Structure 1
Amino acid sequence: MEHPAALAGPPVPWRGLARVLVIRPDNLGDVVMAGPALRALRRAAPRARLDLLAAPAGAAAAALLPEVDGVLTASVSWQKTGGEEVPVTDDLDLVDRIGWGGYEAAVILTSFSQASWPAAYLCRLAGVPVRVGMSKEFGGAGLTHWVPSPPDETHQVDRALHLLERAGVPPVEGRLRVRVPAEAASAARRLLDGRPGGDGRADGRGRRPCALILPGASCSARRYPADRFARVAGLLTAAGLRVLVAGTAREAPLVEATGAGVPGAVLLPGRLDVPVLAALIDAVDVVVCNNSGGAHLASALGTPVVVLFAGTEQVEQYRPRFGPASILTVPTACSPCRQFACPFALDCLDIPPEQVAAEALRLADERGGPWWQTPAGTRDAR
């Protein structure tokens, strides 16, 4: 039996809507995983303008999602975690921005531990008449269409599609898809080929197989140690792969610690925007990363990925499901902990670099066959 307030509102006239706001103010990977939900909304409301309200970390992914028409970027108060004081004017300004959009409906996407009520009440104050969201608890009039949460272990993609289906949006298949802009693909090719703007290390005999290492993550509790990433990079280089290491400008120390001592490694701290990162992921033979946005971009692009999955989250909620993937983690009694900094010794990521490198080499081999048997510069079509 569900709460009597569940889905108490009238049917939503999706097909007749002209302006819809989708709210997902989280990280890059969360926005990428919202792609199937955006695709379902686009089909249900084919004439509507679909705007995305996203945090700065996730807003850049909108360029990869063809369903998104515009972006409202905001660091929303209900996602703050540091206990800092947030001016009330921030919320009031956001109410004004949403109000100026003239939205007829708002769809609020959340992970299992989040409530949609804060966003719903801001949309209510902004005059959005239809407000669809999901939460474990009842919260009154903030949502016009409240959907009780599915089981906690539900994958993030399925969770968003479940919300929409309960609100009358026909389901779509849940495969992740992103569109890499042509200019981003050209920039990635320059990085790999050593042409002007690249790294200058092409040898003229065709592209070597490449591994991309992404040592960053949104918090330290989710990061495989940099010295172990460095060992992985060295092992991959010794096996014949060309290694690239990338991260944001803030992650420059991690990038440097991972690749500085690896012969021939290409270090790209702060040099890639999200579209170029996606293009590079699309072009390499294997990605090695933490449970982060890079894993979901690789899943969307079909690029093999080795994910060092910390015990902060449940694997079932975030597992890459749409391409070759190896999930490496160590079960611990404290998982899932939801911590930003591990109070122990990061036992959930106590994974030997040799195992990580072996998995990366296996996935790279399976993708295109052993590269010593493959003509230089060729690869299997997707």
Structure 2
Amino acid sequence: MSRRVLIARLDGAGDVLLAGPAVRAVAAAPGVEAVLLCGPQGAAAGRLLPGVAQVLQWPCPWILNPAPEPTPDLMQALLQLVRSARTEEAVILTSFHQSPLPLALLLRDAGIRTITAASTDYAGTLLTTRLKPGEDFLEDQPEAERALRITAAAGFALPAGDDGRLRLGPLPDVSPLVGAGPYIVVHPGAAVPARAWPALHHAAAVELLTAAGFRVVVTGGPGEKELTATVAAVAGLDLGGRTDLAALAAVLAGADAVVVGNTGPAHLAAAAGTPVVSLFAPVVPAIRWAPYRVPLELLGEQHAACSGTRARTCPVPGHPCLSGVSPEQVVEAVQRLVNGVPSLQTHREMRHR
């Protein structure tokens, strides 16, 4: 019988995609099956990751926003879910501001006795292996590398030949959606307002890209149809609300470059290996959250007053960190990527900007 290891990443799609290399490290161990525990916003991304044997979904009341009530029934649902998956040990992946201890307590109650996580707080007997941020690893590192450090402490390493980049499994054929010929994707939506470039800036960029000879495809979720229609206007192909996550990944994979904010599709593009123009609001650090290990153009004032606040709504009037980026700058960044001369390609370079 296979040894089944639970990997928990309870956040959104982008967070789950960044856990992909860590999932592959666990799945590569002889006789191991990787079971991924996700929140409702990350489960679809989990199903796209290579190496995942099973995806479990549970709405976590200390991570989701808005959060469900932590009722006994909700906690019991997690215990039953974990027990039914027959997992024997767990690796809890968290960001620097999250504690793994509430989940560790519940997993203990579900019968898991071997648990590895990073925790700034004293963990007592909740964790079998505890990594201490600042001692066992640097905080200012990409989230994908943080996750790999945690799985390494649990005894799992990437196999020879795996370079640690983000990856996706097989994707659907979307040629009927995107049509023939090369294209650029513009994805104007963002998970929270503080990370959004203005809609009319996006629309102007689409017009300028089209005038420069590019074919532009505009993507967005079911709740973003009005936004994508505004941005696509008459110049772009509007796919707003017409793709699930797998189809969106395929659209991004076929693009020559993607223009996107700091949101899940930025990491989806990176996992597809597509160059990214990242309209990145510094409310979270780019070193941790910028698209990982793909050719990259990072736009936006990274030392603005909102830097590091984790604000969901911009605390600075006028949203200057992003509104100061012009559509012309975006077009120039796309041209650099398409011509193979991005100004920023690695996180190592980002540390020295």
**Deviation larger for 146-155 or 241-250:** 146-155
Q: What SS does the corresponding residue of 2:186 show, helix, strand or coil?
A: strand
The answer on 1:221 being equivalent to 2:205 is: no
- Check conservation: 1:98, 1:126, Cα contact below 8 A: yes
The answer on 1:138 being equivalent to 2:122 is: yes
- Check conservation: 1:236, 1:361, Cα contact below 8 A: no
Residue number among 210, 217, 224 corresponding to 1:244 in the alignment: 217
Letter in 1 for 2:269: A
The answer on 1:366 being equivalent to 2:340 is: yes
Any stretches of 5+ residues in structure 2 without a counterpart?
342-353
**Deviation larger for 249-258 or 82-91:** 82-91
Bigger-Rg structure (1/2): 1
Residue number among 151, 164, 167 corresponding to 1:164 in the alignment: 151
Residue number among 36, 41, 47 corresponding to 2:21 in the alignment: 36
- Separation in structure 2 between the aligned mates of residue 103 and residue 286 of structure 1, nearest angstrom: 40
RMSD across aligned C-alpha pairs, in angstroms?
Answer: 1.8
- Separation in structure 1 between the aligned mates of residue 67 and residue 260 of structure 2, nearest angstrom: 29
Deviations along 1:162-211, one digit per CA (max 9) or x if unpaired, are 11222322355421111233xx1x2x111122xxxxxxxxxxxxx34311
Equivalent residue, structure 1, for 2:139:
152
Residue number among 183, 206, 212 corresponding to 1:233 in the alignment: 206
The TM-score normalised by the length of structure 2 is 0.89
- Separation in structure 1 between the aligned mates of residue 214 and residue 70 of structure 2, nearest angstrom: 47
Equivalent residue, structure 2, for 1:294:
265
Q: Per-residue deviation at 1:71?
A: 0.8
Deviations along 1:93-123, one digit per CA (max 9) or x if unpaired, are 1122112222101111011111111111110
The answer on 1:120 being equivalent to 2:104 is: yes
- Check conservation: 2:202, 2:231, Cα contact below 8 A: yes
Q: What SS does the corresponding residue of 1:56 show, helix, strand or coil?
A: coil
Any stretches of 5+ residues in structure 1 without a counterpart?
1-15, 194-206, 368-382
Letter in 2 for 1:114: Q
Deviations along 1:288-344, one digit per CA (max 9) or x if unpaired, are 000122222222222111000011110100222422111112121330110111122
Q: Per-residue deviation at 1:229?
A: 0.8
The answer on 1:57 being equivalent to 2:41 is: yes
Equivalent residue, structure 2, for 1:336:
308
Letter in 1 for 2:28: R
- Separation in structure 2 between the aligned mates of residue 226 and residue 366 of structure 1, nearest angstrom: 28
The answer on 1:314 being equivalent to 2:290 is: no
Equivalent residue, structure 2, for 1:255:
228
Q: Which structure has the highest helix share of the two? A: 1
Alignment of 1:169-208 (within 5 A): 169-171=156-158, 173-181=163-171, 184=172, 186=173, 188-193=174-179, 207-208=180-181
Residue number among 57, 74, 82 corresponding to 1:73 in the alignment: 57
The TM-score normalised by the length of structure 1 is 0.82
- Separation in structure 1 between the aligned mates of residue 47 and residue 69 of structure 2, nearest angstrom: 32
